Amino acid sequence: MTGPFDHLTSIRGQVAIVTGGTAGIGGACTERFAREGATAIAIGRDPAKGEALIGKLRAEGHDAHFFACDCVEEDQMAETSAAILERWGRADILCNIAGGWIEAPPIEEVTNEALHHSFDWNVTSKFLITKALVPAMKANKYGRIVNMSSSTGRRGRVAAALQYSTMEAGVLGFTRVLAMQLAPHGITVNAICPGTTLTPRAQRHSEERLAATAAAIPVQRLGTVDEQAHAIWYLCTPGAAFTTGAILDVNGGNWTG
């Protein structure tokens, strides 16, 4: 099916890679890209999760693939990036979604190890694969990179994890400078800052806590993974060529700058 705006919106036939692409927001991105007709490649650590998602998408007739890889491990990431480029020869879309946080202790209890772990999980995971795939994007004079940050990287919040908030702010710096470096090559680099979104990770919190969080959001509910994937999809379309170095807040109006 073709439409009058396909030149702006269609990612059909493109190679789209999603780190952390087997569940939650990343999983929704993999599903969206596959259903938009792209070759959707999900990267995650747990093969069972990845194969279940890819199996579902293939059963629907989509072109979906999974690579088991820990995005913070340099060797694994190099091997996976090389395998992707060897098989498909290009990378049109890269969504760096892998990351997260576990606990939010006061500073006296944040160890150096926890700080470095957060850096690796949220920053190194984006740096390694981006560095590996940018040469192919440059050769093709085209690319769309979206980096996952968080509303926690934009503002202070009492309940936020100190180390995670620090790294998510770092992702914004990475995004801004990379956007400027890559703009002459037809490659855009943007960041997305979700507010609390119902994912497997968020669902670990108690119902009371999630209800209180939802009540504090102007739209009076939590975000959905499809809403986050929809915003990310826009940043990955050909028509978003003039949107680069941007930070897109998708948070139900919870923080407006």
Ligand X SMILES: NC(=O)c1ccc[n+]([C@@H]2O[C@H](COP(=O)([O-])OP(=O)(O)OC[C@H]3O[C@@H](n4cnc5c(N)ncnc54)[C@H](OP(=O)(O)O)[C@@H]3O)[C@@H](O)[C@H]2O)c1
Q: Is residue 142 flagged as an active site residue?
A: no
Residue 147 DSSP code: E
Sequential DSSP letters for 40-87: EEEEES-HHHHHHHHHHHHHTT--EEEEE--TT-HHHHHHHHHHHHHH
- The answer to the question of residue 46 lying near ligand X (CB under 6 A) is yes
Q: Residue 2 is encoded by which pair of tokens?
A: 């073709």
Among 35, 138, 201, 221, binds ligand X (CB under 6 A): 201
188 contact partners, CB below 8 Å, separation of at least 6: 143, 144, 145, 179, 182, 235, 240, 241, 243, 244
Cβ-based nearer residue to ligand X, 142 or 162 = 162
Helix (H) or strand (E) holding 93: strand 93-96
Cβ-based nearer residue to ligand X, 20 or 143 = 20
Among 40, 54, 162, 202, binds ligand X (CB under 6 A): 202
Beta bridge partners of 40: 16, 64
- The answer to the question of residue 97 lying near ligand X (CB under 6 A) is yes
The residue count for binding ligand X (CB under 6 A) is 31
- The answer to the question of residue 188 lying near ligand X (CB under 6 A) is no
| Helices (H), ranges, the chain | 6-9, 24-35, 47-59, 74-88, 112-119, 125-140, 162-182, 207-215, 225-235
Rounded to whole angstroms, how far apart are CA atoms 233 and 118?
26
Q: How far is the CB of 12 from ligand X (least distance, A)?
A: 24
Beta bridge partners of 43: 19, 67
Q: How far is the CB of 171 from ligand X (least distance, A)?
A: 9
- The answer to the question of residue 75 lying near ligand X (CB under 6 A) is no
Among 99, 123, 174, 235, binds ligand X (CB under 6 A): 99
Q: Which is the catalytic residue, given 66, 164, 174, 233?
A: 164
Q: How far is the CB of 134 from ligand X (least distance, A)?
A: 19
Among 38, 71, 162, 178, binds ligand X (CB under 6 A): 71
Rounded to whole angstroms, how far apart are CA atoms 5 and 237?
11
Beta bridge partners of 39: 15
Among 17, 25, 64, 235, binds ligand X (CB under 6 A): 25
Radius of gyration of the chain (CA): 18
Contact positions with ligand X (CB under 6 A) in 120-179: 121, 125, 148, 150
Cβ-based nearer residue to ligand X, 22 or 244 = 22
The residues of the shown chain that bind ligand X, judged by CB under 6 A, are 19-20, 22-27, 43-46, 49, 70-72, 97-100, 121, 125, 148, 150, 194, 196-197, 199-202
What residues act catalytically? Answer: 164
